[in-house]
Structure 1
């Protein structure tokens, strides 16, 4: 058998939609002007704003260099030593703001990223950047630091922009938060990045705000690619609950299969979910289901699955000898199986009933869609010695969903541990989806 396909389209890198300065300044950077310098010499009354503060030594060094840098064909690389020699002279906040702007713009002209970074850092450190421009300055500082792999500084400036609630024509605070997670991912600090992203998702939900699908998809992609478990399942559960498209469900089911080596009984409960959400698309999906269900044990379920495969054309009728044989066997067993249901119910309900009989009754009634009866037997099994508690809880949750007891089902599935936990989480997401659909129908939306 071939293994299920890897989820498609999950590993795309999310990029912030803000271009780095490349030949054109993206910041309105202030610079020193003669008028500003002259202004400081004027006598001010108490109501006037304080004039910019520039020393004569700074002005004397700044003005000719500024002219040289602005001259046509200026060679920034050749003038860089003079530019850096000005740094010790920039003592006042105004001087640092002006020189930072000169350095930043020179870095753009000379395509010198470290020089750009030095300039924007100097401007921000001056404390003189206008409040309405601070967010943009911090975003640019983050971008340059990130490009230079100075990740700690990138985080600092990005967080400052987030704290300032900055947004622009092509970005939102949500985009900035996504990029904070991306910094961790760039450093292969996947667990920390996923934790940041998860916390941001929870914060948005707590505020009643929608969570962008790309947050979930990126979390799933990183966690899946790097096999970060159990975090991957947390993202998957919320992803398909909030965005239950067939494609998302198929990716969710397949990545759960790919990350685990499930045996028949465990795989059966995952494939049952796959059938509910329409992710059985390949011949092997149905073949695995038939094998896991076992034709002689659950003939009605096998017959239903094969008929679906025939109807959808995934396994055309009479195209596969083995599948046709399973359908023939299942069809021949169903009437006898149905006739035995009353006696099975009676035996499993007897005070002295064995665990095997009780579980068999739950499985059989579940396969016939008699969910309330199945749930009763699984509940009883949980009080019996040597029960496979995680199997019983998983199938009890499935039966409760079928019976419409959504809250009870989610509480049940939350108790599942071990290898079955990811499957229980997906069933819980399905329960949330069903509850949402029921609420929408009740309100007419």
Structure 2
């Protein structure tokens, strides 16, 4: 099982998805128009038609700006010393030209003096000015998002990030979806896991609907957060969607193992999970096989147990004579198969009787599933659903399994979707498997092992 770190261990997880902006580290200054022409503009006559379109500055702003301008002429201004003067300029900044000039000074002062509050004040003032070139607005919104995030002002950060997303901003070395991933991370940073996971999944769905490329790290990150914090049922939604879009053997193993680790399944539920695990090559050690054999029980499902033991021995995971329990189960299974098969016609007749009960019908369905007669198994599971007292979630799960093995993927997914309770997580993975097997270009998986010799 792949180990995933908890989001609680990182204050700024958004840095995992670096936006590669010049300002990302808070160490660069912004080049802002109108930084040195305030005094010049004031010297012009107000009625001079040549000044049409020129920057507009008030007398008060120019007077406050002049000493700052003089101090900056040397080329290496002391922003620490100038900081009080620059902060005093902020309330005088009324016109858009004053806001863009003062905002730039504030931001660069904040960077130089490592004051992120001032940085945010500055970049927001520039954005509010409306004077930033349209092509640059998205970049400035992302800068504001980053600074607000560093200050843990997440609502404010999200507002800026959403504007960048709406603008379709994509900076140098950024990948499509980086901004959406960072949006989800703001929720994770606040431990609002369900909201972040829902946002991320909605973004994935939207991108898929638009024909966009899905980055596997979105699933990996969503699952990691959901798994580390046991966010149910979202963790299973991520697992199911992940293995559909990226059906590698390792991803399937992780999905089945994660589902097993998050639950304390009773034997019959565990059996249905391990049946899937076997088909995606999840059984990797002797304990996996022994758990499967224990859950199946040779007295109930002799052919399935025999097939599983033979597979384990063929892999060298449970050599003959290495485990007393497995050897005993093999003996029981081998000794029961012939008589068990001979009883199938009688069992079928009794299960079809009008006076039958759900235990007999489910038993018949399990028996035919055990021997690989999936059509008859599905028919009896369907019949059992109409009998009072039956465990609907167990029967729906196994009906879906029989339909998958019979090749009826659409019907299987429909029935898996009806499963509730603790078995819902198992049904979601089986449904994902059905989706994958139905896909015309499904990635190759390990060849399905027989349920009972199919």
TM-score (norm 2): 0.89
Out of 306, 309, 313, the position equivalent to 1:303 is: 306
CA distance in 1, matches of 2:188, 2:52: 46
CA distance in 2, matches of 1:121, 1:329: 76
Q: What is the Cα-based RMSD across aligned positions, in Å? A: 2.4
2:13 counterpart of 1:16 = no
CA distance in 1, matches of 2:354, 2:115: 83
Out of 36, 55, 58, the position equivalent to 2:58 is: 55
CA distance in 2, matches of 1:64, 1:133: 30
Q: 1:169 is matched with which residue?
A: 172
* Runs of 5+ unmatched residues, structure 2: 8-12, 445-454
CA distance in 2, matches of 1:69, 1:317: 85
Q: Which moved more, 1:116-125 or 1:348-357?
A: 348-357
What displacement does 1:344 show?
A: 2.3
Are residues 221 and 440 of structure 1, via their aligned partners in 2, closer, same or farther at CA, if it must alter by over 3 Å? closer
The correspondence of residues 149-164 of structure 1 with structure 2, limited to 5 A, is: 149-164=152-167
Are residues 233 and 90 of structure 1, via their aligned partners in 2, closer, same or farther at CA, if it must alter by over 3 Å? same
* Runs of 5+ unmatched residues, structure 1: none
CA contact (8 A) 1:97 1:123 kept: yes
Are residues 39 and 75 of structure 1, via their aligned partners in 2, closer, same or farther at CA, if it must alter by over 3 Å? closer
Q: 1:131 is matched with which residue?
A: 134
2:409 counterpart of 1:409 = no
Q: Which moved more, 1:201-210 or 1:219-228?
A: 201-210
What displacement does 1:361 show?
A: 1.4
CA distance in 2, matches of 1:309, 1:274: 14
Are residues 33 and 69 of structure 1, via their aligned partners in 2, closer, same or farther at CA, if it must alter by over 3 Å? closer
CA distance in 2, matches of 1:269, 1:37: 80
Q: 1:258 is matched with which residue?
A: 261
- 1:340 is paired with a residue whose SS is helix
CA distance in 2, matches of 1:28, 1:306: 71
What displacement does 1:369 show?
A: 1.7
What displacement does 1:322 show?
A: 1.9
CA distance in 2, matches of 1:139, 1:65: 28
Are residues 198 and 49 of structure 1, via their aligned partners in 2, closer, same or farther at CA, if it must alter by over 3 Å? farther
CA distance in 2, matches of 1:268, 1:295: 13
CA distance in 2, matches of 1:10, 1:223: 11
Q: 1:419 is matched with which residue?
A: 422
- How many residues are aligned here? 433
Are residues 286 and 343 of structure 1, via their aligned partners in 2, closer, same or farther at CA, if it must alter by over 3 Å? same
CA distance in 1, matches of 2:382, 2:88: 79
2:243 counterpart of 1:240 = yes
CA distance in 2, matches of 1:369, 1:439: 24
What displacement does 1:138 show?
A: 0.3
CA contact (8 A) 2:397 2:415 kept: yes
Are residues 440 and 147 of structure 1, via their aligned partners in 2, closer, same or farther at CA, if it must alter by over 3 Å? closer
The correspondence of residues 56-95 of structure 1 with structure 2, limited to 5 A, is: 56-69=59-72, 71=74, 74-95=77-98
Q: 1:206 is matched with which residue?
A: 209
- 1:78 is paired with a residue whose SS is helix
